[in-house]
Chains A and B, each alone.
Chain A
Amino acid sequence: MNPNSLLFPTYRAFVQSVRKRGARFAALLAGGGVFTAFIIYFALYKFLAYVSKAPMLGAVIGPMIGGLLVSKLLEMLYLALFIMIVFSSVIAAFSSFYLDDEIRLLMSSPIPSARIFWSRFVLMVGESSWMAAAFFLPVFLAFATAAQAPLWAYLIYPLYIFFFLLAPNLVGGLLALSLATLFPIRQMRKVFQFLSVMVLAAMVFFFRYMEPEKLLNPSYFGSVSNYILNLQNPLTKIGPSAWMHTATRTLFEGDPLVSLRQLLPLLTLLGIGLFIMHVLARSFYRRSWQISLEAVENQVLGLEWLRRVLIIPLRFASPEFRVIGQKEITVFFRDPAIFSQIFMMAAIIFVYGYNLTILPLKDLPSLYSGEINDTMVYFNGPFIGFIMAAVAMRFVYPSISMEGRAFWAVKASPVPASRLLQVKFILYLVPMMALGLLLCFISNRIFAVTTSYLFLISFLNVFMMSIVITGLAIGLGTVFARFDADNPLKISGSFGGFVFMISCALYVMNLLVLEAYPMFRMYFYRYYPIAGTGSRLLILLSFVLLIFCSALWTIVPLMRARDTIERYEPE
């Protein structure tokens, strides 16, 4: 039996799930996905094409510095993506190698453990990377177009990306295998404490090493030549992201042979990594799986005090609200996998906050700083939206799926589907809105917003986004519920999670488009005060449409969710 045959059930399950939803749905989804990808690709391409010319620096020096800046940005993306996938692949590996239900059956079969391992590894790579690949593919292609890469390069480049994504998965897989040999994997807290320290250290190192703030401000470097030299210096001289970056640049320049030679270290490393993994899998996989079966430690006590504090306000709610809320909070704190999720989200918020603090706003000429800061508020909205969507995908989206096979108890009870959804929506809206408003408040302080109108708009954006994102997460999380999934990562990393992220992106675009006119008027209002009923009416119409669209984005998925629950037949 080869590892592929072990993947057959997963493949069949995927085909069945697509068939179940019908061709129209698949076409709609594919269309939406391609449309979003195209928007990302096109917008980024335009931005990169502009930056690569850097017209404000003149016809000679502009393209030189601009090209280097674009190249540096690509290098940073490679490095960030590498670190991100290492972490997510470790989490996916725990689940895929040790915690999935079907592994017991596989281990009891006569199939050699190395073969079982490789089939699980393929699943793990798919689980940890497919979403990043789907989001980053249009991003990387935009770099290729901006660099005016030859057409044949577009055929080879996806292969490069595949090899590059395999590298962090190998690192993650090896780490998981080694950790599982040392710790009982079900005692995740210990493992994640270790991992958290490791990743935090990596992130701090990553940002301090890159010092991206300096790249935006040539005055740090004493002279232009120093600045150019700094841009030319690679972030890391060796390593997968450095090799990938050099090979990609050469590929875009149209030299495939040299590019392949530059990629050779990465390919060699992959070969060595796969060999080591095979040896380790043969020697340790079965043993580490045995260790993973060790008894679960009592994880109730660790955060029991926090759980007790958080359920206090629910005492004042109606009985069904109180018990559903209590159950959500309790299950949340007792799920060991949740620690990794919290950490990952904290890392994203940390990156966001850090990037805000290093923006060289204080170095901008004072005449323009007001306008630029104000404009930043407008563009900061989507960033906060992205963070809220990422948090919602990990914590809110899996909420209905996490009811699991115990959902019959709710279905058999007098609580209607609409009430359950209402309770979950309100319950998750509170922390989501608190997070959004907090991020908005901090960023407004950093931008030192000068106009009260913009200040209010930024809060309105977050207010709207938190409602819509929570509604989408609960709604789509129900429509695409996976009651059989054993951990939240698997649920949020599923096809439905992807649909949720695309939907959030589309809503944020919808929000920005509808706010464009009022913002345009506000941006220039101090020079061209709003005059005439027409402008005022258009601004009013924009806001009315915004409220109407936001209501639709929230209510429609929740209504679909209600129908899904009513039709759902538990096992």
Chain B
Amino acid sequence: MNQNEPAISLTGIGKHYGDFEALKPTSLDIMPGEFFGFLGPNGAGKTTMIRIITGIIIPTCGSVRISGHDVAKDPDAAKRRIGYIPDRPYLYEKLTPLEYFEFVAGLYTLTDDLWKQRSEELLKLFKLWEWRNELIESFSHGMKQKVAMCSAFLHDPDIIIVDEPMVGLDPKSVRLVKDIFKEQVKKGKTIFLTTHTLSVAQDLCSRIGIINRGSVIALGTLEALRIQSGSDTSDLESVFLKLTEEEAEEAMSHHPTPA
């Protein structure tokens, strides 16, 4: 991967649903090796953004480049570089984890030896090895989330896109996942993460973007955000609340609620 080229480059991407503007035109570059946190209140446009980056949904305007490959024009090359962990781990319930990994490996054209070796490593890492031959339908939410994570790491992607990774995980698993993410970034991988657990973002992310009502309202390191918000503390929660509340007040002043 070219270290001077952004791992993820968004140029003016936006998304409309009829008259509703879910995501206003946004441009953003994320460099290789960066751990980027994307925060925002419910319905702010985080998941829309993530799905556009992964090529799951098509933006109304703008373009996305993954390591220089346009997601719309060269989806094959772009998607091969991404591992996606969705917010809700919907999986093929009638498959076992190993069968599911074989399925995913086939979609990414991994060799038999490679996916088998990677599956074993990942299942052992996520403490799922003894469940490898059980149907996914019998798993708890947390176990399914771990299977989804394993499948995202299976093809050893350069970029990992994570939507709310900690939902449904027990504290031990949260610690494990955090350690795995840190390890990945050390190896030079790029992580784009959205979360409502602000402490996770504060612990892990080197740069943070805050989105509200479809617009990126703040972008930078935690310190830069603190300065922007005028907050006295370096606590991300205070910074986040201050920024989103200010933005909401500003929006209200432009569009007052009818009496």
Contact = CB atoms under 8 A, between A and B. Distances in A.
A319 B107 CA distance: 7
Contacts of A319: 105-107, 109-110
Interface stretch (B96-104, B179-187, B216-224, B239-247): B96-104
Contacts of B110: 319
A295 B58 CA distance: 41
B107 A323 contact: yes
A539 B58 CA distance: 48
Interface string B62-96: 00000000000001110110101010101111110
A409 B147 CA distance: 12
Interface stretch (A410-418, A444-452, A504-512): A410-418
Contacts of A570: 51, 56, 90
Interface residues of A, number: 30
Interface string B40-55: 0000000000010011
A410 to B, nearest CB: 7
Given A326-B102, A326-B103, A334-B135, A411 B55 contact: yes
A154 interface: no
Contacts of A413: 79, 104, 107-108
Interface stretch (A96-104, A141-149, A276-284, A400-408): A400-408
B58 A567 contact: yes
B96 to A, nearest CB: 8
B125 interface: no
Which of B57, B102, B106, B109: most chain A Cβ within 10 A?
B106
B137 A323 contact: no
A559 interface: no
B90 A330 contact: no
Contacts of B86: 408
Contact of A415 (B105, B107, B135): B107
Contacts of A404: 90, 92
Contacts of B75: 414, 416
Contacts of B103: 323-324, 326-327, 409
Nearest to B82: A412
A323 B106 contact: yes
A569 B77 CA distance: 21
Interface in A307-330: 319-320, 322-324, 326-327, 330
Contact of B94 (A324, A330, A416): A330
A294 interface: no
A412 B76 CA distance: 10
Contacts of B99: 326-327, 330
A324 B106 contact: yes
B94 to A, nearest CB: 4
Contacts of A300: 135
B223 to A, nearest CB: 34
A412 B55 contact: yes
B151 interface: yes
Bin chain B's interface residue count: 35 or more
A569 B92 contact: no
B115 to A, nearest CB: 10
A406 B109 contact: no
A409 B82 CA distance: 12
A320 B107 contact: yes
Contacts of A547: none
A296 B137 contact: yes
B138 interface: yes
B135 A414 contact: no
Contacts of B57: 569
Contacts of A571: 88, 90
Contacts of A255: none
A335 interface: yes
Q: Which of A331, A411, A412, A416 has the most CB of B within 10 A?
A: A412
A409 B107 contact: yes
A325 to B, nearest CB: 9
A566 interface: yes
Interface string A369-410: 000000000000000000000000000000000001110111
B58 A409 contact: no
A320 B137 contact: no
Given A296-B138, A406-B90, A414 B108 contact: yes
Nearest to B54: A412
Interface in A146-205: none
Nearest to A327: B103
A205 B227 CA distance: 85
Contacts of B109: 319-320
Contact of B80 (A406, A408, A410, A414): A414
A414 B106 contact: no
Given A326-B102, A414-B108, A406 B92 contact: yes
A420 to B, nearest CB: 9
Contacts of B55: 411-412
B105 to A, nearest CB: 7
A494 B57 CA distance: 26
A406 B104 CA distance: 12
Contacts of B151: 409
A335 B94 contact: yes
A324 B108 CA distance: 12
Nearest to B84: A412
Nearest to A325: B106
A118 to B, nearest CB: 31
A331 B82 CA distance: 27
Contacts of B138: 296
Contacts of A405: 88, 90
Given A327-B92, A327-B95, A569 B51 contact: yes
A410 B86 CA distance: 13
A338 to B, nearest CB: 10
A326 B107 CA distance: 12
A566 B88 CA distance: 21
Interface centre among B58, B86, B151 (most CB of A within 10 A): B86
Contacts of A415: 107
Nearest to B137: A296
15 contacts: A296-B138, A319-B106, A320-B106, A323-B107, A405-B90, A408-B86, A408-B90, A409-B103, A410-B107, A411-B56, A412-B55, A413-B104, A414-B79, A415-B107, A566-B58
Interface of B: 51, 54-58, 75-77, 79-80, 82, 84, 86, 88, 90-95, 99, 102-110, 135, 137-138, 151
7 closest A-B pairs by CB? A323-B106, A405-B90, A413-B107, A334-B94, A414-B79, A319-B106, A414-B76
Interface of A: 296, 300, 319-320, 322-324, 326-327, 330-331, 334-335, 404-406, 408-416, 566-567, 569-571
Given A319-B105, A330-B94, 12 more contacts: A319-B109, A323-B107, A326-B103, A330-B99, A331-B92, A406-B92, A408-B90, A409-B91, A412-B54, A413-B104, A414-B79, A414-B80
